[in-house]
Structure formats: structure tokens, C-alpha cells
């Protein structure tokens, strides 16, 4: 498993993604939700990078946020 960002770095990356990509985080999370059923974290990151030409850090932050929100839904 790849090393995850600190919480602060993660928040900073998420805050910059809309300006860098022209799309809001909610749009990216919907894209991941509607994308292919991939199981591994790095597979999802690679898919976002190849299909949407994202930087590695941005793709990783989006997938991490997606996983965090998905886990929170399961607990709630």
C-alpha cells in the first residue's frame, strides 16, 4: 500500500483540485462512483490518471477522500 498523505496535506490538495482541474470535488467523487469497479487503491488512482489526465497527487487525494466518505456512509 502506498504511503498516505497527512490530514493537512490531504485537505490542502483537495482545496487546490477545483482550481487545477476545473471540476469540484463532488464531481470527481461522482466520477469515481460511476467508474469501473476496481478494488485496489492504486488501481483506482491509475484509472483516474489515465482516463482524466490527473496528476498523481490529485488522483490519490480524490480516491482517498472517496474511500473516507464511503467508510463514513457504512458506519452511519
Residue 1 confidence (pLDDT) above 50 = no
pTM: predicted TM-score of the whole model, two decimal places: 0.89
Mean confidence (pLDDT) of the chain:
92
Q: Phi then psi for 72, rounded to 5 degrees?
A: -65, -35
CA Rg value for the chain:
12
Neighbours of 18 (CB within 10 A): 14
Collapsing DSSP to helix, strand or coil, 57 comes out as: helix
Q: Where are the domains of the chain?
A: 2-75
Q: Which three cell numbers stand for residue 51?
A: 482516463
Rounded average pLDDT over 58-65: 96
State residue 74's pLDDT score: 87
Amino acid at each position: 500500500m502506498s504511503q498516505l498523505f497527512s490530514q493537512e496535506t490531504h485537505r490542502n490538495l483537495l482545496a487546490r483540485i477545483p482550481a487545477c482541474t476545473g471540476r469540484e470535488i463532488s464531481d470527481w467523487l461522482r466520477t469515481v462512483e460511476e467508474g469501473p469497479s476496481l478494488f485496489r487503491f492504486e488501481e483506482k488512482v491509475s484509472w483516474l490518471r489515465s482516463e482524466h489526465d490527473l496528476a498523481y497527487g490529485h488522483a490519490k487525494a480524490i480516491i482517498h477522500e472517496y474511500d473516507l466518505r464511503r467508510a463514513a456512509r457504512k458506519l452511519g
